[in-house]
Structure 1
Amino acid sequence: MSEPIEVFISYSHKERRLRGILDDHLSNLKQQGIINAWYDGDIEAGAEWDAQIKTHLESAHVILLLISSSFMASKFCYEKEMLEAMRRHEAEEARVIPIILRPVDWKGAPFSKLQALPKDGKPITRWSNKDDAFLDVVQGIRRAVESLKK
């Protein structure tokens, strides 16, 4: 079995609930050893959070951007995490996957040129069945991870 793909999850803390649901839906990929998913909630007490975020962002193979108005309004999410993620994407060091959580104007954003999830960039909160939306997202992540392992 090959090493798991390191996944960094960038999100606004106002979206903790949706991030948690996504994490639950990623469980099968984690249990199969396909991915290791990391987000700032994994930072241990007493650790320097800024350094931890930077370390994990720089080592991730896949970076998930959980897009909402809160994400777009967060200076930290936008300037620190998303811009670094896009720099790594442009340098072909990581794959960046925008996941549209809520309706928001993201036209012209640096990540707008990337294929977003769920399909057609339909926000998760607009799906009548949220589990179907998260399944679509996880299947897209699985395909991206499998293509990186080839």
Structure 2
Amino acid sequence: MPLQPDQAIEVFYSYAHEDEKLRNELEKHLTLLERQGVITGWHDRKIGAGKEWQNEIDIHLDSSHIILLLISANFIHSNYCWDIEVRRAMERHEAKEARVIPVILDSVDWESAPFGRLQALPKSGKPVKKWGNRSDAFLNVAEGIRLVAKELAVNS
């Protein structure tokens, strides 16, 4: 889906519910990007009462320009994340319709996964939980997302 001028880049959070606290923490670190109109974030906890959850996820997975895969053992273990969200995210990435960014939350074997060839955040794919200060890790992720959002906005 092409961007309109001055349109915020939609960011989709693909994550395992066991990692919700870390997703919330990342979301806080992306607040300035949202306040500045650079991005708008979406995840399944924003689904309103009475809405069909799978349909809502599909809509946002198909409309987002950046798809964050929040990688952990929980994520790799989740059949829904793996079979539905990773599959669709990688299809859109291959078609150059979206940019998939693995965000490594915790130590797990991920480098041979379909997204393993993609440049991950934080830098060097060092898991967020391995940083001495998680705020430093999430700052690195936020800076990386800002760069990608600017690139996508310029190239649209």
TM-score, normalised via structure 2 length: 0.95
Q: Does 1:111 align with 2:134?
A: no
2:129 — aligned with what? 125
Q: Answer yes or no: is 1:23 the counterpart of 2:27.
A: yes
Q: Greater relative contact order (Cα 8 A, min sep 6): structure 1 or 2?
A: 2
Shift of 1:107: 2.2
* Structure 2 letter corresponding to 1:60: S
Q: Of the candidates 57, 62, 65, which is equivalent to residue 58 of structure 1?
A: 62
Residues 61-80 of structure 1 correspond to what in structure 2 (within 5 A)?
A: 61-80=65-84
2:153 is the alignment partner of 1:136: no
The alignment's C-alpha RMSD in Å is 0.7
- Runs of 4+ with deviation above 3 angstroms: none
Q: 1:4: which partner in 2? A: 8
TM-score, normalised relative to structure 1 = 0.99
**Matched pairs, number:** 150
Q: Deviations along 1:91-138, whole A, 9 cap, x unmatched?
A: 000000000000000121000010000000000000001000000000
Question: What is the SS of the residue equivalent to 1:36?
Answer: strand
SS in structure 2 at match of 1:56: helix
Q: Percent of aligned positions with the same letter in both sequences?
A: 52
**Partner residue of 1:35 out of 39, 55, 74:** 39
Q: How far does residue 67 in structure 1 lie from its aligned partner after superposition?
A: 0.2
- Distance of 1:107 and 1:101 partners within structure 2: 14
